[in-house]
Amino acid sequence: QVQLVESGGGLVKPGGSLRLSCAASGFTFSDYYMSWIRQAPGKGLEWVSYISSSSSYTNYADSVKGRFTISRDNAKNSLYLQMNSLRAEDTAVYYCAREVGSDLYFDYWGQGTLVTVSS
Partner 1 sequence: QSVLTQPPSVSGAPGQRVTISCTGSSSNIGAGYDVHWYQQLPGTAPKLLIYGNSNRPSGVPDRFSGSKSGTSASLAITGLQAEDEADYYCQSYDSSLVGVFGGGTKLTVL
- Residues with Cβ within 8 Å of residue 56, at least 6 apart in sequence: none
DSSP secondary structure string for all residues of 23-42 = EEESS-GGGSEEEEEEE-TT
Q: Which stretch binds partner 1 (CB under 8 A): 18-26, 70-78, 80-88, 101-109?
A: 101-109
- Minimum Å gap between C-beta 119 and partner 1 is 27
Contact 97, 34 (CB under 8 A): yes
8 binds partner 1 (CB under 8 A): no
Question: Contacting partner 1 (CB under 8 A), which of 21, 45, 53, 116?
Answer: 45
Pick the closer one to partner 1 by CB: 71 or 112. 112
**Nearer residue to partner 1 within complex by CB, 62 or 119:** 62
Kindly give, in sequence order, each residue whose CB lies less than 8 Å from that of residue 23, ignoring residues fewer than 6 positions away. Answer: 3, 4, 5, 7, 77, 78
Task: Give the dihedral sign, CA 82/47/107/112.
Answer: positive
Contacting partner 1 within 60-79 (CB under 8 A): 60-62
Binding site for partner 1 (CB under 8 A): 35, 37, 44-47, 50, 59-62, 95, 100, 103-112
